[in-house]
Amino acid sequence: MSDKKKRIGILTAGGDCPGLNAAIRGVGKTAIIDHGMEVIGINSGFLGLINKEYIPLTEENLSGIITLGGTILGTSREKPYKKKRNGVLVVDKPKLIVDHYKEMNFDCLVVIGGNGTMSTAHRLSEEGLNIIGIPKTIDNDVWGTDNTFGFDSALSIATEAIDRLHTTANSHRRTMVIEIMGHHAGWLTLYSGMASGGDVILIPEIPYNMKKVAKCLEERVKNGKPFSIVVVAEGIKHPKKAHAANYIAQQIQELTGLETRETILGYIQRGGSPTATDRILATRFGTYAADLIVNENYGQMVIEDQGAIHHRPLSEIGGKTRLVPTDHELIQQLRKMGACFGD
């Protein structure tokens, strides 16, 4: 293990989410204060490494950012290994990243991102770079960790939004369809559906039948419940020319005749200040990442496992998605309380 002062880079890649600044702060402050490292922020994700856009991170400019949403470093969806249709790289971006990493004399690169970012991080580690990954996403779908920061904040926003729609649904005796983000994973829909008392919850992991959904809603009306809340994941099977909520609302109206309205929460779920839970998790991830660097334990992703912070090899993470098991405890509990999953 080298005794020389370490120089590390930090970047945030992919979509923004609450808690990114807390993670940057966790890595940076621990690295600077506890370990005497030099810390460099890389702007706009992997694009910043390609274009050599850097800023020094000091204890001073890391102070006061834990409450901020978004990322002080900026982000992008740059995929350095993405090829053109003929299978040829437009520019050898991975080589540029490797060259610029060496030019900057980095001892390690801390990469904060979701599934795609972790796949890129693993491939760069195979190129010989020292990489530490930190998982983030509101979708909570990064394989290998029980939780990612960003999820709790998005859950709070989605739950509050659905709570507000309850009053309109009740006042107008309507069926309200709310579309939740999450790509192909139903974690955010499942949790917000439970927290807000959703009557129908449709997630990508459970194939649904619209006739069964319609029957459920009609039964509610017969039982003296004139309004319903339908919580829908954006990634459920539906015609791609429409949003999931638009499609489900139209189907409900056609099959039941019930007055139905849809709401698509969209990017509002990703914005704003992180919850206390996300600030804490992001900080724990960041401080642990700094310790991995000190111990030169590279090629790892920081994870949460049953409440404790650990790590697992990036080689195990890439290309996998953490989906909701169809026998998940929350699904079983919701079924016992009469919630419909459309199956």
Q: Which positions are catalytic?
A: 139
Q: What is the dihedral of CA 107, 112, 114, 117, to 10 degrees?
A: -40
- Coil vs helix vs strand at 228: strand
- Looking at the DSSP bridge assignments, the partners of residue 141 are none
Give me the phi and psi of 251, to 5 degrees please. -65, -40
**For 132, left (φ over 0), alpha (ψ -120 to 50), or beta?**
beta
* Contacts for 237 with CB less than 8 Å, ≥ 6 apart: 204, 207, 208
Instruction: From residue 290, give the alpha-carbon distance in Å to each of 24, 83, 184, 201, 329.
Output: 11, 33, 32, 40, 35
Spell out the alpha helix ranges (H) of the chain.
20-29, 46-51, 59-62, 93-103, 115-126, 151-172, 187-195, 210-222, 244-256, 276-294, 329-336
135-149 burial: b if 16+ Cβ within 10 Å, else e:
bbbbbbbbbbbebbb
3-state DSSP helix/strand/coil percent for the chain, to nearest 5? Answer: 40, 20, 40
